[in-house]
Amino acid sequence: MKILGIETSCDETSAAVVDHELCLLSNVVLSQDEIHAPYGGIVPELASRRHIRSIAYVVGECLECSGLRIDEIEAFAVTQGPGLIGSLLVGLSFAKGLAYTHGRPLVPADHLESHIYSAFIENRDITYPILALLVSGGHTSLFELKGPLNFRLLAKTRDDAAGEALDKIAKFLGLGYPGGPVIDRLASEGDPERFPFARPQMSDGSLDFSFSGFKTAGLRQIRKLGITRAHPDFLDFIASFEAGVIRALLYNLDQAIHHVEPRSLILCGGVARNSKLREQFLELAENRGVPGYVPSPELCTDNAAMVAALAHEKLKNDHSPGLDLTLNAYSRR
């Protein structure tokens, strides 16, 4: 079965095709970074308008790269939510149109579940139960999967996502948008131990994350020390802030490992592109004797390959999928 996935939940327009063995035949991602960069963050109205302009081109390009004709696609899949509602509606409407016109089923995909299934594209035999740490610009969550598609949310952020904290600190320092990749690059040249950032702790002992206080502590330090690009401590500050975020993420992951005793660990989401987070996640996995999986960087940030991968798993379990034209987008999970 050839599945064409579509993803437009935020500011990437993407389409991808996988085959029955989950081989990725094509994955086209059109970023809108340059449109939102002058505003230092995503402008939802601009994002949805750009999706409208790009979607047909991206799907056409994706088909061309896959070497398939549209009538060879046996199922369509699309992100239903969570995300920006205007952006989601563009992908959802386009996918409904394709499925209806070609008489094929349409598989709805949850964005967070798709991120987790991105790990299966390069590793088909990840064993359950799985503990997944999903870190992106909009989400920071821990999921347990006892079996295929059996998701249990163990923890989430109570305020900002980790990527959001990185992006906001970068914006404040005038480092551009998105800030995560810039911080990743600059942090490699600084001393991560120079400025200690206290790990956020939940008073109720839950595994939930919190990055808002953390971000405020960073902003306070910037003002107090007068950190700018020209400041001699600039790189050390960036490295220390990034290290603090990573420490908070991996501390909770480690706690969760003790609770659920998984047989595999997955790290996914846009922030999983971060070089130090990837390294330290794999180190932790090795120390705990649990295999750790991190998708290639291009499969961590938003892409349609992961949507098709989730749909692939759903279709394995549903032998008569249909087309529900009343499907609606949702902004929150």
Residue keyed to tokens 């005038």: 174
> Do 91 and 78 meet the contact criterion of CB atoms below 8 Å apart?
yes
Nearest CB to ligand KG4, comparing residues 91 and 178: 178
Q: Are 130 and 264 in contact (CB under 8 A)?
A: yes
Residues in the chain: 333
Q: Which does 160 bind (CB under 5 to 8 A by kind): ligand KG4, Zn ion, none?
A: none
Q: Please tell me whether residue 13 binds Zn ion under the rule CB under 5 A.
A: no
Site string for ligand KG4, 195-214 (x = CB under 6 A): --------------------
Q: Which of 167, 175, 211, 312 binds ligand KG4 (CB under 6 A)?
A: 167
Q: Which of 40, 86, 91, 163 binds ligand KG4 (CB under 6 A)?
A: 163
> x/- string (CB under 6 A) for ligand KG4, residues 121-140?
---------------xxx--
Which residues, 297 to 326, sit near Zn ion by CB under 5 A? Answer: 302
**DSSP line for 100-121:** HHHT--EEEEEHHHHHHHGGGT
Helices (H) and strands (E) in the chain, counts: 11, 10
Site string for ligand KG4, 258-277 (x = CB under 6 A): -----------xxx-xx---
d(CA 278, CA 70): 37
In whole angstroms, the minimum distance from the beta carbon of 139 to ligand KG4 comes to 6
Q: Which is nearer to ligand KG4, 19 or 122 (CB)?
A: 122
Place of tokens 């989400």: 139
Residue pair 207/143 in contact by the 8 Å Cβ criterion: no
Of residues 6-35, which lie at the interface with ligand KG4 (CB under 6 A)?
A: 10
Return residues touching Zn ion (CB under 5 A). Answer: 136, 302
